[in-house]
Amino acid sequence: MPSLLPNIVLVGRPNVGKSTLFNRLIRSNRAITHDRPGVTRDRMEGVVRRPGKPEYGIIDTGGITLDDRLAVQEGPDGIRGFEEEILRQVETAMSEAAAIAFVVDGQDGLLPTDKFLANHLRRLDIPVLCVVNKVDGAEQADQRLAEFHVLGFPLIAVSAEHGHNIGELTDRLGKLIPKEMLGAKLEPPALRLALLGKPNVGKSSLINALSGQDRMIVSDVAGTTRDSVDVRFTLDGEDYVFVDTAGIRRKTKISDTVEKYSVNSSIKSAGKADVTLLTIDATEGVSAQDKRLLDMLDTRKIPFMIVVNKVDLIPSASLKQIVADTRDLLVFCRHVPILTVSAATGRGLDKILPLARRIKEECAVRIPTSQLNRAMKTVLETHQPPMVKGARPKFFYLTQAESEPPTFVFFVSDADRVMATYARYIEAGLRKLFRIAHAPMRVKFRSSHKKDGK
């Protein structure tokens, strides 16, 4: 869609050949050029595609086309008649353009209208390339370009009608677009992480170790509370943000033995993140507060992992025990991964960010209906649903109602007859078939009489 791409706007007085140029640039004939004077045409949008280079949008603002004869008849006074139309073009250019292709007519030469328009364009803070059209051969180019130098814009000679120099033009226009705009569409947004856990588990140490030297501490917006301080950093070309780090960095006077951190504000931070890291101290294990938080993260279907920190301080046998104990706490959310790390020695840290990325990707998964129903068949055939109160529930249809987290809805004859254990078996089956290992997932059952679930 042109609206998502940086746009080049074609600007120029009538009859310089903007439409023909537009068609050349998008290599089709979607725009219609009118021969009749006074004909309005619609605004035209297209995409310039170049192999191996970023695309950009092109907009021809159109407007009223008057033929040469009419313009000449009106003479220099006619300029005033164009003013409104020209200003409208400039306004459009200002609001939508990453850059401007200012089209002039090399055969007519430089007209007062061109100068008038150039004055307006110069005042915009947008790059401009002056495209001198109707220059049909390279041999005429220098001579034809000469008088346009006074406008002060870089120049290129082209012939829209004969296709002369169009490849060069698309490149020069592409180079005109500010780099950050070209990249804007291709760059995925930063992965947002929330780091939770009681004081002194090593959250600050983890942020420092993961973000390294290049981090940027950003206060969200002027006027917001100090609690929403984000830490941004880039690693291996990927962007990350630790959200709400103010509470982490502000050291409380609470002694280490008082295990007190707010579950509510933790959940709030988790809500701002794509993936949450719940940090646990290997020397202490899972606290009661951690358990409460864990339950809430699970019921709210928040994507999270558990990071057991300070593993350098305990023997490996104790570590095994802690991981086993934590696993036991996760019986109803077996998908939650547990990492064992040391912010001090760096052990295991390299796994955290790739795992977070994977969880985020799994959350966003969309499964086509055909695959869903094949999966349903496979799962049902491997283990058929058990009888409940003398009847076996019939499964009609499966759809994915949402992503983030992926939510699957089964339409069945009688939802009450689907046992919890069978529901868990189904979830495990879907996870395996669709490779959703660590993201949260919802599986729902709806009673329905008809096959289509209506």
| Helix 203-211, helix 352-363: angle, nearest 10 | 90
Considering only the stretches 223-231, 308-316, 358-366, 370-378, report the one whose residues sit in contact with ligand GDP under the rule CB under 6 A: 308-316
Beta carbon nearer to ligand GDP, 164 or 310:
310
Sheet containing 44-50: order of strands: 44-50, 53-60, 7-11, 97-105, 128-133, 155-157
**Least distance from ligand GDP to the Cβ atom of residue 202, Å:** 3
C-alpha distances in angstroms, 252 versus 209, 260, 379?
A: 21, 11, 52
Report the distance separating Cα 283 and Cα 37, nearest Å: 84
**Least distance from ligand GDP to the Cβ atom of residue 436, Å:** 30
Kindly report the number of other CB atoms within 10 A of residue 315's CB atom. Answer: 9
Site for ligand GDP in 239-258 (CB under 6 A): 248
Position among 17, 62, 174, 202 found at the interface with ligand GDP (CB under 6 A): 202
Please tell me whether residue 128 binds ligand GDP under the rule CB under 6 A. Answer: no
Considering only the stretches 171-179, 184-192, 198-206, 420-428, report the one whose residues sit in contact with ligand GDP under the rule CB under 6 A: 198-206
Please tell me whether residue 287 binds ligand GDP under the rule CB under 6 A. Answer: no
**Least distance from ligand GDP to the Cβ atom of residue 309, Å:** 5
Strand partners, 41: 63
Q: What DSSP letter does each residue of 113-137 carry, written as one string?
A: HHHHHHHHHHHSSS-EEEEEE---S
Report the distance separating Cα 280 and Cα 347, nearest Å: 15
Position among 15, 107, 204, 289 found at the interface with ligand GDP (CB under 6 A): 204
Q: What DSSP letter does each residue of 272-330 carry, written as one string?
A: H-SEEEEEEETTT---HHHHHHHHHHHHTT--EEEEEE-GGGS-HHHHHHHHHHHHHHT
**Least distance from ligand GDP to the Cβ atom of residue 411, Å:** 46
> Own/partner pairs for 226-233, CB < 8 Å, 24+ apart?
227/265, 231/207, 232/190
CB 108 within 8 A of CB 40: no
Q: How big is the site for ligand GDP, counted in residues (CB under 6 A)?
A: 16
Q: What string marks each residue from 333 to 372 as x (binds ligand GDP by CB under 6 A) or -?
A: ---------xxx----------------------------
Position among 200, 228, 318, 373 found at the interface with ligand GDP (CB under 6 A): 200
Considering only the stretches 81-89, 122-130, 310-318, 320-328, report the one whose residues sit in contact with ligand GDP under the rule CB under 6 A: 310-318
Beta carbon nearer to ligand GDP, 203 or 335:
203
Residues that bind ligand GDP (CB under 6 A): 197, 199-205, 248, 309-310, 312-313, 342-344
